[in-house]
Amino acid sequence: MGEYVLTPDADHQLDEIASTLVDEINNGAKSIIISGHTDIQSFVGVPPAESNQRNWELSQKRATSVAKALSKRGIPITRMITTGYGYSQPVAYGHSEVAWAKNRRVEIEVE
C-alpha cells in the first residue's frame, strides 16, 4: 500500500525547506506549488480503473501532507497549491524497485 505519512527524515528535510520558502515568500514569491507523485504499480485485487484512481488520490494525499507540514512551519496555506499527478509524470522508467522509489515523490516549486 502507498504511504503519505511523512517519515522522520522527510520531516527534518521540511524544516530546512521551510526556512528557504519563508525567504522566497519574503522576497516576492507568489505561490508554492506542491506536486505529489506515485509509481506505476497497481493496487492488488482491484480493477485497473480503481487502481488508477487510488494512485491519483495517494499522490494528492502526499502533496497535502507536505503542505500541512509546511503550514505548521510558517508557510501561509493561502500561498500553497497542491496537485496530485498519480503516475503520469515519472522521473524514472522501468519496472524495478529503484525506478518505483524515484517516482514516489513530492516536488516543491516556487513561483
pLDDT digits (tens, 9 = 90+) for 12-30: 999 999 999 999 999 999 9
CA 43 to CA 53: how far, in whole Å? Answer: 10
Cβ pair 90, 103 in contact under 8 A: yes
pLDDT score for 1: 59
User: Residue 41 is part of a domain; what is its CATH number?
Assistant: 3.30.1330.60
- Residue 79: the pLDDT is 97
Distance between CA atoms of residues 43 and 24, nearest Å: 38
Residue 62 lies in a domain: yes
Q: Is 89 a domain residue?
A: yes
pTM given for the model? 0.93
Domain count, the chain: 1
**Residues 6 or more apart from 52 whose CB is under 8 A from it?**
86
Q: What average pLDDT does the chain have?
A: 96
Residue-wise pLDDT tens digits, 52-67? 999 999 999 999 999 9
Is 47 among the domain residues?
A: yes
Residue 3, pLDDT score: 84
